[in-house]
Amino acid sequence: MNADGSNQRNLTSARSCQSTAAKWSPSGAKIGFICGLDKQAEVFMMNPDGTNTVRLTDDTDEDRALDWSPDNTRIVYVRMPDDDDSEIWSSR
């Protein structure tokens, strides 16, 4: 959407996905986001126009709070293996 809120466009359409924590890459070439699937949350990446969506994680833990490395090569995120712990992970 534009900075004034006009021209909004939905980039994700899966009804089973509750998308949160969207973050533009520093170059603006990709958007990383967390998507809740089957009672767990996974890390995804896509082009700014919503095409080429790639799932980056696939595990039984909940993933949260992502950010990009300054050089656009990695995504860092928080993984919650259980209710009491959290771990910081990075994409390869």
Give yes or no for a contact between 71 and 25, defined as CB atoms under 8 angstroms apart. no
User: For the chain, what are the domain ranges?
Assistant: 18-90
H or E, element range at 87: strand 87-90
Each residue's pLDDT tens digit in the chain (92 positions)? 888 989 888 777 666 667 677 899 999 999 999 888 766 888 999 999 889 989 898 888 888 888 999 998 889 988 887 767 888 888 76
Give yes or no for a contact between 59 and 80, defined as CB atoms under 8 angstroms apart. no
Q: How far apart are CA 42 and CA 22, in angstroms?
A: 12
Report the 10 Å Cβ neighbour count for 10.
7
User: CA-based diameter of the chain, in Å?
Assistant: 41
